[in-house]
Amino acid sequence: MTITLYHNPRCSKSRQTLALLEEQGIAPSIREYLIDVPNADELREILNMLGFSPRDLMRKKESEYKENNLGNVSLSDDDLIEAMINFPKLIERPIVINNGKAAIGRPPEAILEII
């Protein structure tokens, strides 16, 4: 069983989620998504596992969200996914993937439901 953590080491919640996994005896596969950006298919798969729309996975307080008018309700899901690829900082973090299920580590304990 491989658990994947979409991780931003500069994010305190992401670091706390990694620590929680390690406390559970789990050494996850770490994907630093700001460097190794997920593609559109990967994002769609994550969204499906989470039961989220693209907008649900976006960090709306980031400057890139405002500067690119991503709050515009006429934007399609494909438009929003493309924005997350172009500006991966917009992707909510951390994301834990395990056995076809996903959870956002906010709070970090939320990931315990899928491990």
Stated pTM of the model? 0.95
Please give the pLDDT value at position 44. Answer: 98
pLDDT digits (tens, 9 = 90+) for 12-21: 999 999 999 9
pLDDT digits (tens, 9 = 90+) for 19-69: 999 999 999 999 999 999 999 999 999 999 999 999 999 999 999 999 999
Per the structure block, which two tokens stand in for 52? Answer: 């989220």
- C-alpha 19/C-alpha 7 separation (Å) is 12
Residues 37, 88: contact at Cβ < 8 Å?
yes
Every domain of the chain and the residues it spans: 1-33+93-115
Please give the pLDDT value at position 1. Answer: 64
11 is catalytic: yes
Q: What CATH class does 1-33+93-115 carry?
A: alpha beta
107: amino acid identity, one letter = P
Q: Catalytic: which of 4, 11, 16, 50?
A: 11
- C-alpha 77/C-alpha 7 separation (Å) is 23
Please give the pLDDT value at position 90. Answer: 98
